[in-house]
Structure 1
Amino acid sequence: MFLAWNEIKKNKLRFVLITGVLMLVAYLVFFLSGLATGLKDLNRESVDKWKASGIVLTEESDKSLYQSSMFIDQLDDVQAEETAILGQLSAIAGNGEEKENVSIFGIRQDEFIMPEVTEGEAFASDNEVIADSSLKESGFKVGDELQLSSSEEKLKIVGFTDKGRFNASPVLYADLDTLQRVKYGEGAEANAERINAIVIKGDKLEGIITDDKLEVIEIETFIENLPGYTEQNLTLTFMIYFLFAISAIIVAIFLYVLTVQKISMFGVMKAQGISNLYLSKSVIAQTFVLAAIGVLIGLALTLVTGAFLPAAVPVSFDIPTMLIYGAVLIAVAIIGAVFSVLTIVRIDPLKAIGG
């Protein structure tokens, strides 16, 4: 460690460049990690709020809430500890100034998927809704009347709730009758008993359905089947993995070049009896110090950047995940240093000093 630190102090510029590259890679990895977490939250916030164990959809829906359609009386075919009915519709809602893509959930106020109101009050009359708080950032407020693209009905925001987005859209929570009027218009009475799903709570998911036209799906499986959810996460995850590989290659190249430049010096040291193990430890220690400094600076810059980002940017930093990624970056940097270690081991002292 003494040799490694002394060399860093003597050749500051070289090692600042290496640290700078590692810092930029770490910064990009951490930011992509935050983006991946933020986009996940955009898709699943409202579902996570249910704290449910499963959801019942029609078998022919292919695990899609949008494609599922059943009747309320099919609730009798589900033998779970707790159940809640759910109707759903996607629409564009506007308050005269702003427009947003929204997802409307038709629910019962006395069932467990009813959200907690953080501002205003719960819906109590027809066409009243509780809105996700992200809509406030777009200019919506309590008391706004919403015109929907797919209906003549107008909805009124009477309250807001936190973390209520579904498949990247803010959710409007309404009673089931309101949803039916919005969804079916003049045919609302004929479709009054139609819903999209039954949300369930309970430790047991097997054998709770007696209707072979229905299927129960674990909540995590349901989320993974949301449109674009899995593909989006895989894309960002692969980008992070590629950055790990790039980091190892960059460190390997830098340290290899530095090692080649110092072959004669290493040859003299080996001729003096300094072992390969000692020199190898020095290179590894040097790499660890540089990588640790780069990762810590990258982490700090990421958190500072996150503090100044507008709310519209879907970034959410999961510190435990970021720490794991930081440790992996340090590990792959050390792996990259192995090539320099192999070069040192192969140095012939006599040839290196011109003997």
Structure 2
Amino acid sequence: MRSNLPLFLGFKEIWRNKARFALVIGVVTLITVLVLFIAALSEGLGAGNREYIATLDAELLVYQEAADLTIGASQMPANLTRSLRRVEGVAAVGPVGFSTGSVVRVGEPLDVALIGVQPGQPGVPPVREGVTFSRPNAREAIIDANVAEQAGFKLGDLITVRSVQGEDENSYQVRVVGIAPSRKYGIQPSIMLPADTWERVRAKPAIADVQGAPAFNVAAVRLSDPQQREAVAARIAGRVKDVVAVDLKTAYENTPGYTAQQSTLSTQSGFTLLIGLLVIGGFFQIQAIQKIAQIGMLKAIGASNRTVAAAFIFQVVIITTIGVLVGALAAFGLSLALPSVVPVQFEPAQVLTAVLLLLAIGPIGGAVAVRSLLKVEPLTALGLTS
């Protein structure tokens, strides 16, 4: 019975003051929802920026050296792929071009990333339905799962792609031959087109370049030995003029705004945890001050500091655990109710880390209040000193 005394005391106080403790559980729940949603938003926005690049069937991405790893600024001639293929350790090279456009659907047009790839080379995503491209100039398209869901397209559909070329908005029709898993780029769903078709469809400036527009932005390089990334990247830089090769992680981290976006959301999440720590710690500190007389009475009838501390920590753990669990379920439920266009994506490892941190803020915040309870003198607390 004595070993269960802290649990009994802690639970009894929670039961007698249900409204007060329910309020704190509600605060912990809201903090949990906020932290998990920020984490999910960070993952969703990050995936929207890096998804296509991170899932390339290649180990290196080659940029124009002067572009400073900015895809939009990188401009490469079509014959560069031959030079890259001659580098030792390179198994295959696929030119990849990026542009923007929209597709006609019921209601408003859907903005998309238009990605030009060479059939049979790195850059072409695997299809979960249908087939891949038949030839570079085919009027075909592989749409990612987001386009299929948001626009309602299916295999065999003839879709209209619009892009701005000069001062005019032009329309092109292509047939959906494949549906790929999600391959977002620039927070937009993607439509992959064969290289020659993409060159006709892509957005073009008002004044055409007299020397001809660049054939592609970057080159996806698949290696004979994926473990030799650094060595092959150095060979490419040394043997091919005016280019730089980097791994995929470096490539997507240099996507405009990616690092700043992730840093901002991580900072927000950190401050939310800090606010949670202060709120919970402040609540238990006030609670400790309010029950000094009761603690004094317990100590006067023989309760040890260990019993008092254990009862208090039990309360902290129970309240925090309930609040975090309810908050996690609420966050997951709300995510299911959100439309698919909202970039919220729960990553199991990230969610687990956030939940563990949230479970820790209760005991950490309550640890300060425990010290106040341990210093209580029975006679002083009961006002019996002269």
Q: Same fold (TM over 0.5)?
A: yes
Shift of 1:297: 0.5
Shift of 1:157: 3.6
Q: Which residue of 2 aligns with 1:102?
A: 112
2:317 to 288, 308, 316: 288
1:305 to 334, 342, 347: 334
Q: Does 1:148 align with 2:163?
A: yes
1:111 to 107, 117, 121: 121
1:195 partner letter: F
Q: Does 1:174 align with 2:193?
A: yes
Q: Which residue of 2 aligns with 1:135?
A: 147
Say whether the 8 Å CA contact 2:96–2:123 is kept in structure 1.
no
Distance (Å, rounded) in 1 between the aligned partners of 2:95 and 2:321: 49
Q: Which residue of 2 aligns with 1:31?
A: 37
Cα gap change, 1:137 to 1:198, in 2 (>3 Å): same
Summarize deviations over 1:103-142 as a string: whole Å, max 9, x none.
2222122123312233444333533221223223443522
Cα gap change, 1:143 to 1:174, in 2 (>3 Å): same
1:332 to 351, 361, 364: 361
2:18 partner letter: K
Q: Which residue of 2 aligns with 1:89?
A: 98
**1:1-355 map, 5 Å:** 1-75=7-81, 76-77=83-84, 78-95=87-104, 98-124=108-134, 125-139=137-151, 141=153, 142-150=157-165, 152=170, 154-158=172-176, 159-183=178-202, 191=212, 194-201=215-222, 202-208=226-232, 209=236, 210-355=239-384
Cα gap change, 1:241 to 1:96, in 2 (>3 Å): closer
Summarize deviations over 1:66-121 as a string: whole Å, max 9, x none.
11112333332443443332232322223275423322222122123312233444
Say whether the 8 Å CA contact 1:92–1:99 is kept in structure 2.
no
Say whether the 8 Å CA contact 2:160–2:172 is kept in structure 1.
yes
The number of residues matched between the two structures is 355
Distance (Å, rounded) in 2 between the aligned partners of 1:140 and 1:80: 42
Summarize deviations over 1:228-278 as a string: whole Å, max 9, x none.
111111111111111111111111111111111110111122223322232
Shift of 1:295: 0.4
Tell me the C-alpha RMSD between the 2 structures.
2.4
Say whether the 8 Å CA contact 2:103–2:112 is kept in structure 1.
no
2:118 partner letter: R
Q: Which residue of 1 aligns with 2:3?
A: none
Identify the range of structure 1 (276-285 vs 138-147) with the bigger mean alpha-carbon deviation.
138-147
1:282 partner letter: A
Identity %: 27
Summarize deviations over 1:284-320 as a string: whole Å, max 9, x none.
1210111001000111111111222111111111123
Cα gap change, 1:190 to 1:83, in 2 (>3 Å): farther
Say whether the 8 Å CA contact 2:43–2:346 is kept in structure 1.
yes
Distance (Å, rounded) in 1 between the aligned partners of 2:152 and 2:372: 64
Cα gap change, 1:156 to 1:188, in 2 (>3 Å): farther
Say whether the 8 Å CA contact 1:66–1:88 is kept in structure 2.
no
Q: Which residue of 1 aligns with 2:4?
A: none
Shift of 1:161: 1.8
Q: Name the TM-score, length of structure 2 as normaliser.
A: 0.85
Say whether the 8 Å CA contact 2:128–2:181 is kept in structure 1.
yes
